[in-house]
Amino acid sequence: MNNEKTQKNKTNNQIKIFGTQTGVNIIDSPVKTQILSILEEKERNGAEIVAITGKSKATISAHLHDLVDSGIIESRPNPLDGRSKLFFIKSSYIGGLSRENEFKKEMDNYISENVIKSNDPFEFFRFIFRTIRVALMEEGFNIDPILHNAGFKVGSTFYEKLKDPETEVMVNKIAEFWQKNKLGRLKIEKLEPLTIRAYDCFECEDLPKIGRSACAFDSGILEALFSEHLSKDVNVEEVKCFAKGDDYCCFIIK
């Protein structure tokens, strides 16, 4: 419970960046950030947001009005209560900027230990990708939403090549694709709910230990593949990750 509370406080302490129809919008108000974190979970009415935040009705109303005007959120009539509205996020979450660094500077050691010593061109470019990400992380940037969206596009593109009516067969095809392209090794842990382990993960294995899951790109790929396979939206939850200090990454497809 304490870890969840700490993680939530870190999320609320972030500056959030959204893409709207009028351009990029940066939210640095802690109250607005908290409201958006609440709406990321599901749509809510004003009274629920007031209760969760502990702020006054007037304060929340003013912030909701600002977020609607900026094109980040929208509202619709509450089907269960015609007197209230349900608020939801309508814009694209691009990423965030932490108000404080999550870990100490490690870039110099990271480059000397991994990039310079690599003789494999594929490994070199893989380390370059990680180095760029670590550099952004050291400056407090969270680009997980962008990586997730990019992964989703990759998964959608490769679905036709990997699809199979049998879930287990399809997972085996994905595992072959993963290993062939040096993304790591995938294994089915169980089929209900579908749980997949990833070893030697290309996305996070060499990242600093940041205490949270970091495989947004992988999650996006799996989300796209299984949304197509099951003909409905799925959620991919990464419950274990090298970046959290685990021995492997683990994804649950819900």
User: How high is the pLDDT of residue 108?
Assistant: 58
Task: Show the beta-strand stretches assigned E in the chain.
Answer: 14-20, 23-27, 44-45, 73-78, 81-89, 92-98, 141-142, 185-191, 194-199, 236-240, 249-253
Instruction: Name the DSSP class of 193.
Output: T
User: How high is the pLDDT of residue 190?
Assistant: 93
Closest by CA to 99, choosing from 216, 18, 215, 9, is 9
Q: Is the whole model's pTM more than 0.75, yes or no?
A: no
User: How high is the pLDDT of residue 56?
Assistant: 95
Map out the domains of the chain with their CATH numbers: 2-94 (1.10.10.10), 102-142 (no CATH), 143-254 (3.30.1380.20)
Q: What is the largest CA-CA distance in the chain?
A: 66
Question: Is the separation of the CB atoms in 177 and 202 below 8 Å?
Answer: no
User: How high is the pLDDT of residue 102?
Assistant: 52
195: β partners: 190, 252
Please list the pLDDT of the chain residue by residue as tens digits (254 residues).
Answer: 434 444 444 455 578 888 888 888 889 899 999 999 999 889 999 999 999 999 999 999 999 999 999 999 999 999 988 888 999 999 888 888 775 555 555 555 655 665 566 677 777 777 778 778 877 877 778 888 889 999 999 999 999 999 999 999 999 999 999 999 889 999 999 999 999 999 999 898 878 788 889 999 999 999 999 999 999 999 999 999 999 999 999 999 99
User: How high is the pLDDT of residue 69?
Assistant: 92
Backbone angles phi, psi at 112, to 5 degrees: -70, -35
Q: Which amino acid is at 146?
A: I
How far CA 185 is from CA of 9, 31, 224, in Å, comes to: 34, 42, 19
User: How high is the pLDDT of residue 31?
Assistant: 94
User: How high is the pLDDT of residue 128?
Assistant: 77
User: How high is the pLDDT of residue 109?
Assistant: 61
